[in-house]
Amino acid sequence: MIGKLNHVAIVVPDLDAATKTYRDVLGAKVSEPQTLPAHGVTVVFVLLDNTKVELLLPYGENSPIQAFLDKNPSGGIHHVCYEVKDIIAARDKLKASGARVLGNGEPKIGAHDKPVLFLHPKDFIGTLVELEQA
């Protein structure tokens, strides 16, 4: 069902410093910051040959990642994102197998302008999983 790894997301306390680390120290190409109010984050993508790293900074009072940053003030890995061909078919198959889809179960448009869903970490070995329609 899952395809390639789309990205690994890291919550950061300072987006500028994290961007500079990837760009200036590691020599990676990085995107411009993109604020996604509907998701409560500002993101920068580190562009690699085989995948991406998504740097996440909380945005707004109700950011869903603020609690993560409060517990992990230095930041850390937040989730992994896998591509799927058909997000509705994937959701339905996962729900039928007992997996929990977060939110209302309907896809939202993510940072790449494609439908995304998140799966409960307790169902996936303690890892928050994002699915993105390829």
Residues designated catalytic:
130
Nearest residue to 14 via CA among 33, 40, 37: 33
What's the distance, CA 78 to chain centroid? Answer: 7
- Give the DSSP letter of residue 38: T
How many angstroms separate the Cα of 81 from the Cα of each of 17, 24, 73, 94? 23, 25, 23, 15
Query: How far is Cα 117 from Cα 106, in angstroms, rounded to an integer?
Result: 7
Greatest alpha-carbon span in the chain: 46
How many angstroms separate the Cα of 37 from the Cα of each of 12, 34, 76? 17, 10, 21
